A = this chain, B = another copy of it.
Amino acid sequence: MTASDGPIDLEDLTGKAATLDDVANRAGVSTATVSRFINNPTVVAKATAERIREAIAETGYIPNLLAGGLASSKSKMVAVLIPYLTDSIFNDTIQTMVEELSSAGTTVMLGLTGVSEARTEDLIRAAISRRVDAIIFTGPVTPNVEQMVRRSPALFIQVWDLPEDPIGIAVGFSHHAAGRDIARFLMSRGYRRPHVVTAQGARAQMRRNGFVDEWTASDGIAPTEAHVEVPSRFGHARRIFAEIRRLDHMPDVVVCGSDYLAQGVIVEALAAGLRVPEDIAVVGFGNSSIAGEMRPTITSVEVDGARIAREAIAAIRNRKGTALPPDRWIDVGFRLVARESA
């Protein structure tokens, strides 16, 4: 087939997708040139570029990224692995991440690990199988995961946390410090009997430790506690609140692992005729959109999830070859936002 400027029957292309070869033939150039044009349009001469552009339009060519990735060993994919999606504290991070990555032409592979180590390992393996450029990860790293990841050229980014020795890099903040600051804040407001609700998961545990350590050190009295399954969402609120009512001493403030849970507790408390924060105060975590919209508005800890996403993406983008970026810890901090609920 040679280049022709007459219209072609597009229908005959439906059977088989057009390839680089087809485009090259139509445009009267070699595949190498078309490939160059696609990846870096400025390196081909203007007239050639125009012919190629037309040939692409005529053939409806859509590159095969499987082939491209294989040849270049760059997949332009990143894996994003989180525990849950529903009512998740990571949603802003994911939303930003997916938006920014896809507008940069990178596709996102989403994995939900739950709390299962086996599933986590499967997902990591799947990500490596696809030769992703980076793995963005929230969760505990098992030895198997560590081994697989270390051998893979993918950049491993642990987000929402700052582990002591990240495998790749980490973008997050100190959960222990966050817990501590919540404790200090509540003390300064005069609360005396906190009730700490901790979700499953290492980060929640660290916040809880931060809180309890600080509280016990300054006050001498350990707070009462409750635990919920991951994820700490709305649905657990009723049970949590029922438990609180059964305590000998009603707490004066409930410290929740997420705003969703906090919201639920507030709803329950109000329904029970209690005033928030006068009868019982509530603290959330994550500063989700609801925190500012709930009545009363919810005192929470703001974490800039979008910034976490952007820092992670920047790290991917700035990476040279397979070297580790210079900054292995990126601390985005957090900010306690005092509102009406505590």
Q: How large is the interface on A (under 10, 10 to 19, 20 to 34, 35 or more residues)?
A: 35 or more
Q: Judging by beta carbons under 8 Å apart, are A234 and B99 in contact?
A: no
Q: Collect the chain B residues with CB atoms within 8 Å of residue A65's CB.
A: 126, 129-131
> How many Å from the CB of A168 to the closest CB on chain B?
14
For chain A, residues 111 to 160, give those with C-beta under 8 angstroms from any C-beta of chain B.
Answer: 111-112, 114, 119, 122-123, 125-131, 147-148, 150-153
Q: Judging by beta carbons under 8 Å apart, are A110 and B112 in contact?
A: no
Secondary structure class of chain A's binding surface, majority of residues:
helix
For chain A, residues 50 to 81, give those with C-beta under 8 angstroms from any C-beta of chain B.
Answer: 60, 62-67, 69-70, 75, 77, 80
Q: Collect the chain B residues with CB atoms within 8 Å of residue A64's CB.
A: 70, 129, 131
* Chain A contact residues, CB within 8 Å of chain B: 13-14, 17, 60, 62-67, 69-70, 75, 77, 80, 84-87, 91-92, 94-95, 98-99, 102-103, 105, 107-112, 114, 119, 122-123, 125-131, 147-148, 150-153, 233-235, 237-238, 264, 267-268, 270-271, 289-290, 293-295
| Pick from B77, B148, B233: contact of A289, CB under 8 Å | B233
| Pick from B75, B109, B153, B289: contact of A108, CB under 8 Å | B109
A13 to B70, CA, bound (A): 19
Given A65-B129, A129-B64, A147-B60, is A234 in contact with B270 using a C-beta cutoff of 8 Å?
A: no
> How many Å from the CB of A269 to the closest CB on chain B?
10
A95 to B290, CA, bound (A): 21
Q: Judging by beta carbons under 8 Å apart, are B290 and A234 in contact?
A: yes
> Chain B CB within 10 Å — which of A85, A99, A122, A294 has the most?
A85
A297 to B94, CA, bound (A): 30
Residue of B nearest to A296 (CB): B271
Q: Judging by beta carbons under 8 Å apart, are A112 and B126 in contact?
A: no
- 24 A–B contacts, CB within 8 A, in A order: A14-B150, A17-B152, A60-B148, A62-B125, A65-B129, A66-B66, A80-B110, A84-B95, A85-B85, A85-B91, A85-B98, A87-B91, A98-B111, A99-B112, A102-B111, A102-B112, A102-B126, A103-B122, A109-B109, A109-B110, A234-B293, A235-B293, A238-B293, A270-B295
10 A-B pairs closest in CB distance: A271-B295, A110-B110, A65-B129, A66-B70, A66-B69, A85-B95, A86-B91, A98-B112, A62-B128, A267-B295
A293 to B75, CA, bound (A): 43
Q: Judging by beta carbons under 8 Å apart, are B103 and A119 in contact?
A: yes
Q: Collect the chain B residues with CB atoms within 8 Å of residue A86's CB.
A: 91-92, 95, 289
Q: Collect the chain B residues with CB atoms within 8 Å of residue A268's CB.
A: 295
A147 to B14, CA, bound (A): 10
Q: Collect the chain B residues with CB atoms within 8 Å of residue A105's CB.
A: 126
Q: Collect the chain B residues with CB atoms within 8 Å of residue A294's CB.
A: 267
Q: Collect the chain B residues with CB atoms within 8 Å of residue A111's CB.
A: 98, 102, 107-108
> Chain B CB within 10 Å — which of A65, A123, A294 has the most?
A65
Q: Judging by beta carbons under 8 Å apart, are A129 and B234 in contact?
A: no
Q: Collect the chain B residues with CB atoms within 8 Å of residue A270's CB.
A: 270, 295
Residue of B nearest to A289 (CB): B235
Q: Judging by beta carbons under 8 Å apart, are A87 and B14 in contact?
A: no
Q: Judging by beta carbons under 8 Å apart, are B91 and A107 in contact?
A: no
A330 to B259, CA, bound (A): 37
